[in-house]
Amino acid sequence: YLDEPAGTNSTSRHVNSFSLLAGIGDYKKQAQALEKTSIPVRPATAGFMLYWTMEAKFRAGMSQAALDDIRKVYGHMLSFGASTTWEKCDLTVGDHPNEVEAAGSRCHGWSAGPARLLPAHVLGVQPGEPGFATVKIEPNLCDLKWAEGVIPTPKGIIKVRWEKGTELTGTVTLPPGMTGEAKVGGRTIALKPGENVIKGR
């Protein structure tokens, strides 16, 4: 689980991410290894490898850590006025003007991971069957008070809004012909096409 060459103390969050995502070995041990490597040895960078690390954290039950990663890295880009996702993001640069020069491609598809991660893991929208023939929704707002989004699927648009009070409540609107289920507060709720209002008990 740990990428530790003999005689060194280095670890690799990438090795642990892919080990966890592949389901190799003991899941709890993999998650612990990923937690151990969450403090990067080198500056965090956006890009496809950061996407897989955040995906692994969400799947390992480390959703808050993954959301904090998104805030840290993509918040850093925003502080420099980014309106697209950069190829690279050096968190050690601070307010130095060379950060923009170090960004590489200023509009890099591999760095757009949060566009999938936030709907899939915070809003909790996942296909129940291939092609979104059905949908499974299990939100996890972490420290957010509310979250909403619009998710395009082959069958049409899914609209979701969640609000955190004493209990999690929300509205899920499914396109015609789509059904599914939502897991909220220990309950499994059947979803029908159109608007589904999910209230507390």
pLDDT greater than 60 at residue 18? yes
Give the span between the Cα atoms of 167 and 147, in whole angstroms. 14
* Owner of token pair 């289920």: 181
Q: What confidence tens digit (pLDDT) does each residue in 33-77 have?
A: 666 655 554 455 667 678 888 888 898 888 998 999 899 888 888
H-type helices in 23-123, by residue range? 27-36, 48-59, 63-79, 98-102, 114-117
pLDDT greater than 60 at residue 10? no
Structure tokens at 124: 């909790």
pLDDT of residue 110: 83
pLDDT of residue 62: 87
pLDDT of residue 177: 95
Characterize the bridge pairing of strands 179-184 and 134-137.
parallel
pLDDT band at 187 (very low <50, low <70, confident <90, very high): very high
pTM, to two decimals: 0.82
pLDDT band at 200 (very low <50, low <70, confident <90, very high): confident
| Closest C-alpha to 54, from 68, 66, 36, 41 | 66
Contact 127, 155 (CB under 8 A): no
**For range 127-151, the mean pLDDT:** 97
- Which contiguous run of DSSP H or E holds residue 19? helix 13-22
Mean pLDDT of the chain: 83
Give the span between the Cα atoms of 1 and 153, in whole angstroms. 36
Which residues fall within 8 angstroms of residue 33, CB to CB, at 6 or more apart?
Answer: 1, 2, 11, 16, 19
Q: What confidence tens digit (pLDDT) does each residue in 67-115 have?
A: 998 998 888 888 888 888 888 777 766 655 555 666 677 788 888 999 9
pLDDT greater than 50 at residue 162? yes
The DSSP string of 133-149 is SEEEE----TT-SEEEE
> How many beta carbons lie within 10 A of that of residue 40, not counting itself?
14
pLDDT of residue 8: 46
pLDDT of residue 45: 67
pLDDT of residue 9: 46
pLDDT of residue 57: 87
